[in-house]
Amino acid sequence: MSEARELPRRVVVAGDGQLGVLAAIALKRSLPACDVLVIGAPPDPAAMADRMPTALPFTNKLHDRLGIDEERLVREAGASHRLVVRYRGWGGMGQEGNAPYGAATDPRLRTGFARAWGIGPRNETAAAPPGSLAEVLAAEGRFALPSGAAGAALAELDYALRWNVPAYRDLLVGEARRLGVQHTRGAVGGLRLDGRGGLASLQIEGRGAIEADLFVDCTGPAAALLSQLPGYAREDWSEALPVRALVFDRPREPMLELQDRITLAPVGWLSELAGRDGRQAVLAMIEGTTQDAAYQALPVERMDVVPIAPGRAAQAWLGNVVALGDAAAHFEPLGWFNLDLAHRQLALLLELLPGREIDPRERAEFNRRAALMADRVRDTLGAHYAAPAASHLGVLDRSPELARALDQFTRRARLPFAEEAPLLAQEHTALLQALGHQRGESALGLAADPREAEAAGAAFAVNAQAALLSAPPYALWVREVLQA
Amino acid sequence: MPLTRPKPVKVVVLGGGTAGWMSAAALAKLLGDLVEVELVESEDIGIVGVGEATLPHIRGFVERLGIDEDAFIKATHATYKLGIDFRDFGRLGESYVHPFGSFGEEFAGVGFHHYWLEMQRQGRADPLGSYSLAVEAALAGKFRPPAEDTSLASTYGYAYQFDATLFGPFMREFGLGIGVKRTEGKVVEVCQDAASGDVTTLVLEDGRTVEGDLFVDCSGFRSLMLGGALGEEWEDWSRWLPCDRAAAMPCSHVTEEIEPFTQVIGMPGGWRWRIPLQHRIGNGYVFASAFMSEDEACSAIRGAAESMPLADPRVLRFRAGRRARSWNRNVVAIGLASGFLEPLESTSIYLTQMAITYLIELFPVNGPIDSRDRDEFNRLVDMEYDRVRDFLILHYHATVRDDSEFWNHVRTMEVPDTLKGKMELWRETGRVERYADGLFYDASWIAVYVGQGFLPRRHDPRTAIPDPAGIGRAMGSLQQAIRQEVAAMPGHREFLTGRAERLAEAP
């Protein structure tokens, strides 16, 4: 007979950036009777999950689940939409390619049965889709929310949101207050261990010891709580990821665009995010980049340089401390996976949320899956640096999984299924092509009747035309939401 | 698009059983003129053909080959299957259905089974199966194809129970119709290239030779090419899965109704199956020869038969395990030549189908076989086998049966570490180790854990948050909705007959 289990009475979230506040909202919603306290400390500028003004489609689903209304984000947090990442130069001089979000799903995969059972091997060669609606809409500057209705022209569309970080955080803080999350400020210190591998309490200046059943470490790369525990270890990713520093440009003129750009540079890469309150550029630099070379790639007057030492916590959950965001995995914001990973790991914590007494096995299961998530993100970044024109960024380690994916894609047009991967197979395929990896030949592709591809192409064109008709120009769409 | 098509790869399939004809037909159909497929079989060699029960994945295979489902059902005397009814596994006298479906829906981010465990703790839950449409429909003897949307009526799937001695010939007819060349003859020698070790030629009894580029070994347990000629090592799993014999005996129907499920009944020396087809019932006793003699098993299956036996029991011998590599050099083993797991969860045809799918994905088209493709194939096949293996072992190990030496052995044996970790996580927290590749996900593990009475010590604490009366009402309305769905479904035989009549009337 299964026993009842006591719920946590108090959870402390260290770090009150956009990640920590959302984690507090999520925990409070899951545990309404639990005290949830957020401790704000001066933010670490290198905490990418707190600093990046954008995430990936998963975050929209998490927002939805946590009652964070997307229209409010548009109205109050300057939110705008990205359908496509445009990669420039990764395949060679002048080469460009689009990596759209979303994937055409066989409706049969949405049934209750298919969700519970799957319908067979997951890594079948994905026939190249005849086109991407996201790409078509982004090119024409038109947008509408994807419709859930089967057969609707926009059914397969997905998107990422960008926002204004302080405004987004303010909105989250308001929501957290409304739910009864408590907040205090001050530097965290005086950690007292509980003798069982975890934390008994911590101290904040001017306040006594704060005890909790569960601590969530959102303090950025320093991992102020997790790193103080016995057994803490970090896996160094510096042999796999070459970027050692970032330069942030000041926000420029507002730019209403459905795509963002990531351009390969001699010193690393340059990302340019559009946004309603200003285009933002970030230059990522490899070791040994001179100031001149950096200035040439991104001419900014006062350089706000942030160091990056990529790696992840070997175990993101030790004792009763769970690290999220840069405290769990710290890496360059290439493709903006930082907050996405943090949010997926937060969702994993919600799935495996422990009682007051934490079982070592649920901690081990979290660590197993959180490590898979982080490592697959590292591999996705690694696929960027393995692009044909990126070899000047260094000779880098490739995990067996990354080596296999690149090999299978370039020879066989095939992507092996990876557990806890950050992208859907179709998104991953599009990304590799946008990066200039040449898709190989599959036996099935060679054997297929070319008329099928033609028919699929024609059907796509019809659907794309319908999508364009149903989607207004993006500026008009935004204006309508703002006036609603 | 290349200007010149690559020269067709000459594929030689050895063995005309289920695996052989499935492989030959799928390769010829899906790879078209990239391949030339020749199948060598001998009428002197019987086929094992016990794989009468399948998993829902078979439907994808049939559909992908462009085979009409109705024609298929008619030709193989197939019935529909909603799951497996296990009796006397966790404990003598108890039973549960492992459905092709799930149980309830998660609520507030917490899986349904946690709420069920909480209500069960409070003494307010009905058996887990009553919250599954697949289970309830199966037990009521009803069948209707599931909805293709996201509603309750979409929460189950179905497979077929068919006559394996008809399925092979059906695939043969299909294969011959799309250009597979059939060669009758018994292989007496497998010739290899002296330098590379690749198989080059099969020599038949009458001196004829069959040459090829790629050889698919579907020779069954004999594993003539992979195990024989190439000497690929066998990984033995009998310490976890000691059953190594089956006594199979078909019987006539006794009742008007046909159960839309397979039955698996725990026996003193193993277990027996009962698979209802349109025209007969398949019965068999899978047992461990270390604990029971063939004569004992044959008399037990005779004694268990509830109707007229249509033949004497036939004893089949096997071993649980798989070859270290299923693809070595230019030989790919598919089916029993590659490995064997007893049909406790009807996985035989799935494992064959899975290997065919991976072979087609990794099929060499431009020149020689690349060792990386071979490694990838072996990685995937191993992953599939290992996951099924652990799931099967669970059925034996999660038991309190102590009424025979066999059950004492499997109850107390050491299990693989991979399974041990899963069982400990469940036992302590009520959580299922999550994976999304391979076969059998959360719903299946939960069905067996709970069905066999292996309940966790604790479950998700958040189940204490909602008002228990509210949980009770929600669970009650799910049962109500399930009952309504089931009531509206036709009986299984009624559905089969109706379908046959509609087929006959069709122009």
Q: What residues contact B239, with CB distance under 8 A and at least 6 apart?
A: B413, B414
| Closest approach of A267 to chain B, Cα-based (Å) | 34
Per-residue confidence (pLDDT) for residue B1, from 0 to 100? 44
Distance CA A264, CA A249 (A): 17
For an interface test with A, give the residue of B365, B435, B449 to mutate (most A CBs within 10 A): B365
Per-residue confidence (pLDDT) for residue B426, from 0 to 100? 98
Are B262 and B161 spatial neighbours (Cβ–Cβ below 8 Å)?
A: yes
Residues of A in contact with B100 (CB under 8 A): 113, 117
Per-residue confidence (pLDDT) for residue A233, from 0 to 100? 98
Which of A253, A334, A263, A247 shows the shortest CA–CA distance to A299?
A247
Are A82 and A162 spatial neighbours (Cβ–Cβ below 8 Å)?
A: yes
Distance CA A51, CA A56 (A): 15
Are B187 and B37 spatial neighbours (Cβ–Cβ below 8 Å)?
A: no
Are B483 and B120 spatial neighbours (Cβ–Cβ below 8 Å)?
A: no
Place of tokens 């109500």: B480
Are B28 and B64 spatial neighbours (Cβ–Cβ below 8 Å)?
A: no
Residues of B in contact with A419 (CB under 8 A): 435-437
Per-residue confidence (pLDDT) for residue B3, from 0 to 100? 47
Distance CA B18, CA B29 (A): 16
β strands within B318-421, DSSP E: 321-323, 327-328, 331-333, 339-340
B373 touches chain A (CB under 8 A): yes
Distance CA B401, CA B403 (A): 6
**Domains of chain A: residue spans and CATH:** 10-469 (3.50.50.60)
Per-residue confidence (pLDDT) for residue A179, from 0 to 100? 98
Task: Determine which one of B7, B74, B81, B186 is catalytic.
Answer: B81
* Spans of all domains in chain B: 9-78+162-236+321-386, 245-317
Which of B429, B468, B106, B108 shows the shortest CA–CA distance to A30?
B108
Residue-averaged pLDDT of chain B: 94
Q: How far is CA A443 from CA A446, A447, B84, B328, B367, in A?
A: 5, 6, 36, 20, 12
Question: What are the structure tokens assigned to B190, written together?
Answer: 């497998």
Count chain A–chain B contacts defined by CB atoms under 8 A: 186
Q: What residues contact A59, with CB distance under 8 A and at least 6 apart?
A: A160, A161, A339, A340, A343
What is the reported pTM? 0.96
Q: Answer yes or no: B81 catalytic.
A: yes
Per-residue confidence (pLDDT) for residue B132, from 0 to 100? 98
Are B209 and B187 spatial neighbours (Cβ–Cβ below 8 Å)?
A: no
Residue B216 vs residue A107, higher pLDDT: B216
Give A246-292 pLDDT, tens digit per residue: 999 988 899 999 999 999 999 999 999 999 988 999 999 999 999 99
Q: Give mean pLDDT, residues B244-257.
A: 87
Question: What are the structure tokens assigned to A17, written together?
Answer: 């950036």
Place of tokens 């009624």: B494
Q: Are strands A35-40 and A182-185 parallel, antiparallel or unpaired?
A: parallel
Q: Please give the torsion angle defined by the CA atoms of residues A445, B32, B78 and B299, in that order, rounded to the nearest 10 degrees.
A: -100
Are B399 and B411 spatial neighbours (Cβ–Cβ below 8 Å)?
A: yes
Distance CA A180, CA A275 (A): 32
Q: Do A2 and B33 touch (CB under 8 A)?
A: no
Say yes or no: ipTM exceeds 0.85: yes
Question: What are the structure tokens assigned to A418, written together?
Answer: 């990876």
User: What residue in A sits closest to B376 (Cα-Cα)?
Assistant: A404
Lowest average pLDDT, out of A345-354, B298-307, B369-378, goes to B298-307
- The parts of chain A modelled with pLDDT lower than 50 are none
Residues of A in contact with B150 (CB under 8 A): 110-112
Q: Do B370 and A411 touch (CB under 8 A)?
A: yes
Are B247 and B315 spatial neighbours (Cβ–Cβ below 8 Å)?
A: yes
Per-residue confidence (pLDDT) for residue B2, from 0 to 100? 47
Q: Do B437 and A107 touch (CB under 8 A)?
A: no
Give B173-214 pLDDT, tens digit per residue: 999 999 999 999 999 999 999 999 999 999 999 999 999 999
Q: What residues contact B89, with CB distance under 8 A and at least 6 apart?
A: B264, B266, B271, B395, B399, B401, B451, B452
Q: Do A113 and B430 touch (CB under 8 A)?
A: no
Helix (H) or strand (E) holding B287: strand B281-287
* Phi, psi dihedrals of residue B193, rounded to the nearest 5°: -70, 130
Q: What residues contact A97, with CB distance under 8 A and at least 6 apart?
A: A86, A87, A90, A91, A433, A434, A435, A436
B9-78+162-236+321-386, which class in CATH?
A: alpha beta
Closest partner residue to B457 (CB to CB) among A3, A411, A442 is A3
Residues of A in contact with B137 (CB under 8 A): none
| Closest approach of B97 to chain A, Cα-based (Å) | 16
Q: Do B156 and A113 touch (CB under 8 A)?
A: yes
